[in-house]
């Protein structure tokens, strides 16, 4: 839901259309969470809206349901190795404001004290220097990965391997 909202706002979608889209997304995720049978899930998604016809099959797949239902917190709580968690400030697909605190909370709950959480300024989901963070911008940026992301990873690895 946060991904849809962030991408829509950055794209300048009017508030009324955004509210309608968010309600549709809420209904989609409710079906995905409640309906374990892929065929029934796909049928219910198709009933929901003609807008979903292209997306319904993918959303009905076992992979997509796993993706939506997966909670990484239990796995993070079990980690005893050093952890580096990076997020771009302009990441609209995995918002840092939601994900980095959750990662921190899970690592601390598991007793892991050797972690570093970094929000990289002006970087998108692909760690590219970005103006908006919109998916449509990805292919327009010549930079494969921002030097600051590589430097952050490199410095962390060097600190943990010396």
Mean pLDDT confidence for 115-127: 98
pLDDT of residue 23: 86
Q: How many CB atoms lie within 10 A of CB 106?
A: 21
Report angle CA 68, 72, 73 to the nearest 5 degrees: 130
Task: Report the chain's mean pLDDT, rounded to a whole number.
Answer: 89
Q: Give residue 77's pLDDT.
A: 98
- Token readout for 115 is 């972690």
Q: Per residue in 27-81, pLDDT tens?
A: 888 888 888 888 888 888 878 766 554 565 667 778 888 888 899 999 999 999 9
- Interior CA angle at 127 toward 126 and 129, to 5°? 115
- Cα-to-chain-centroid distance, residue 73: 14
Q: What is the pLDDT of residue 133?
A: 93
Residue 80, classed as helix, strand or coil, is: coil
The reported pLDDT for the residue numbered 20 is 83
CB atoms within 10 A of CB 96: 20
Contact 74, 47 (CB under 8 A): no
How many angstroms separate the CA atoms of 116 and 154, rounded? Answer: 13
Q: Which two tokens stand for residue 7?
A: 């991408």
CA distances (Å), 140 to each of 3, 8, 30, 131, 147, in order? 21, 19, 35, 11, 17
Angle at 40 between CA 32 and CA 72, to 5 degrees: 25
- What pLDDT score does 54 carry? 56
pTM score, whole prediction? 0.72
Instruction: Please state, in angstroms and rounded to a whole number, the distance separating the CA atoms of residues 120 and 81.
Output: 22
């Amino acid at each position: 839901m946060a991904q849809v909202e962030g991408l829509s706002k950055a794209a300048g979608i009017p508030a009324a259309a955004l509210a309608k889209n968010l309600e549709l997304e809420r209904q989609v995720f409710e079906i995905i969470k409640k309906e374990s049978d892929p065929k029934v899930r796909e049928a219910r998604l198709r009933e929901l809206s003609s807008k979903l016809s292209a997306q319904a099959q993918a959303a009905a797949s076992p992979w997509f349901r796993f993706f939506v239902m997966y909670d990484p917190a239990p796995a993070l709580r079990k980690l005893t190795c050093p952890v580096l968690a990076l997020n771009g400030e302009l990441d609209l697909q995995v918002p840092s404001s939601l994900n980095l605190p959750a990662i921190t909370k899970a690592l601390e709950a598991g007793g892991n004290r050797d972690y570093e959480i970094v929000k990289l300024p002006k970087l998108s989901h692909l760690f590219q220097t970005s103006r908006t963070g919109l998916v449509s911008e990805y292919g327009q940026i010549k930079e494969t990965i921002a030097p600051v992301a590589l430097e952050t990873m490199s410095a962390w690895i060097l600190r943990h391997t010396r």
